[in-house]
Structure 1
Amino acid sequence: MKNYLACTGLISLFSMAHAAEICTAIADAGNGAIVLQRGDCRKQVTPASTFKIAISLMAYDAGFLKNEHAPELPYQPGYVAWLDSWKHPTNPQKWMQDSVVWYSQNLTRSLGRERFAAYTRKFDYGNANVAGDAEHDGLTMSWISSSLRISPLEQLSFLGKVVNRQLDVTQHAYAMTAALTKQDKPLAGWELHAKTGAASGYGWYVGWASSKGKTYTFARLMRRDESDPQNVSAGILARDGFMADFPALIGSVAR
């Protein structure tokens, strides 16, 4: 609590935060303590592609995913292809890097409705509602502008369980998910594992940062506004904003 009060008192230091920022939250992964909470961090919205972290754990645990490169699945006409980069054969590494929706859908179909829902409940992921709605099939679209919702604080809770390996999946599932989410370069001396997400005008950047035996989980949620470049994903905006803030943020909590 002492750390939390100290950090909330530092909010004025971060006046550079984007006007459309909804929440930035950071937790000590070792004990789950929230060390920074700025904004409305209990607001539940669609997780969008941040849910790929959960899908990765499910699919490696179930054996559908093998390693970073297998299986490679071919693109087929009729698959969701909102981006040209999705119209290519895709393996787990490309799936995570390019946020390929149709690959996610192949994985959840392989799991089936009951197993997919059971994993989501076991992970205690947000509201754990993968039923879908009138416009979205739950098995293939519940995490994109549909029934599944999660708050930034719930993201931290889930990510803490990932870091501490408390989700009752195989060690291989944890290791491969960490490998897929590892960012190319350290930031301010910290190794980052993270995922963007964007849907319904919301942008996410969530993950964990580790250095010298210390790990923090983090979540940035923002909402696109008219001042933002409209040709850039809200997830990329959330990522770039958080990374610009990261040295000051981590410097305030990692003492």
Structure 2
Amino acid sequence: DSAVEQPRWEKFFDQFEAKGTVVISDERSGSVADMVFNNERAKKRFSPASTFKIPHALFALDAGVIDDEFDTIKWDGAKRAYPAWNRDQNLRSSIRHSVVWVYQRFADAIGEDKEREYLEKIQYGNQDPTGENPFWVEGNLRISAH
């Protein structure tokens, strides 16, 4: 591992009493990582949770589940804990408010096999869209910073 540990970055995590890691890579160097903070944590796999919204939105666009960021995603009428979730959404609002039901609807429309194909195509984590839904929070999908 050729990454140079950056202990001075710890203060940014300490300031917010947060646990985390940072990995910075320069594709031109061909190395896995050039600079890292908390390399041990960077090697561990975790649920991607909300960070999965970006690739998942791209999968939905590519699969034709939605046409663009302005396409209306109809609310199903189920009352949820967050008021911003209790209305029609579009891609922009669903990302802004982290509207899990929208992304679960994408997953249902895309299907497990196609989700796996997309995950494999972009080499996303362990590429496993199985388990409890939402699979990117409660299921088996895991990613690491490396």
| TM-score, structure 1 as length reference | 0.50
- Taking a change above 3 Å as real, the CA distance of residues 82 and 44 of structure 1, as seen in their structure-2 partners, is farther
Is the Cα contact below 8 Å between 2:9 and 2:37 reproduced in 1?
Answer: no
SS in 1 for 2:104: helix
- Report the Cα distance in structure 1 between the residues aligned to 2:27 and 2:97, rounded to whole angstroms: 27
SS in 1 for 2:20: strand
Q: Does 1:75 align with 2:75?
A: yes
Displacement after TM superposition at 1:110 (Å) = 1.2
- Partner of residue 142 from structure 2, selected from 128, 131, 149: 149
Task: Provide, for residues 119-160 of structure 1, a one-character-per-residue CA deviation record: whole Å limited to 9, x for no partner.
Answer: 12222211111111xxx24xxx1101321111111xxxxxxx
Q: Report the count of equivalent residues.
A: 140
Q: Does 1:63 align with 2:58?
A: no
Displacement after TM superposition at 1:30 (Å) = 4.7
SS in 1 for 2:53: helix
- Taking a change above 3 Å as real, the CA distance of residues 32 and 107 of structure 1, as seen in their structure-2 partners, is farther
SS in 1 for 2:25: strand
- Report the Cα distance in structure 2 between the residues aligned to 1:96 and 1:29, rounded to whole angstroms: 28
**Equivalent residues in 2 for 1:143-222 (5 A)?**
143-153=136-146
Which AA in structure 1 matches 2:21? Answer: C
- Taking a change above 3 Å as real, the CA distance of residues 29 and 97 of structure 1, as seen in their structure-2 partners, is farther
Displacement after TM superposition at 1:101 (Å) = 0.6
Displacement after TM superposition at 1:102 (Å) = 0.8
Taking only the aligned residue pairs, the percentage that are identical comes to 26
Q: Does 1:26 align with 2:24?
A: yes
Q: Which residue of 1 aligns with 2:93?
A: 94
Displacement after TM superposition at 1:25 (Å) = 1.4
SS in 1 for 2:45: coil
Displacement after TM superposition at 1:58 (Å) = 0.9
Q: Which residue of 1 aligns with 2:42?
A: 41
- Report the Cα distance in structure 2 between the residues aligned to 1:32 and 1:105, rounded to whole angstroms: 36
Which AA in structure 2 matches 1:27? Answer: S
Displacement after TM superposition at 1:74 (Å) = 2.1
- Report the Cα distance in structure 2 between the residues aligned to 1:82 and 1:27, rounded to whole angstroms: 38
| Structure 2 unaligned residues grouped into runs of 5+ | none
Displacement after TM superposition at 1:32 (Å) = 5.5
**Equivalent residues in 2 for 1:131-150 (5 A)?**
131-132=130-131, 136-137=132-133, 141-150=134-143
Task: Provide, for residues 63-93 of structure 1, a one-character-per-residue CA deviation record: whole Å limited to 9, x for no partner.
Answer: 22222201x12212337x3311111110011
- Taking a change above 3 Å as real, the CA distance of residues 104 and 32 of structure 1, as seen in their structure-2 partners, is farther
Which AA in structure 2 matches 1:75? Answer: W
| Structure 1 unaligned residues grouped into runs of 5+ | 154-255
Q: Which has the higher strand share?
A: 1
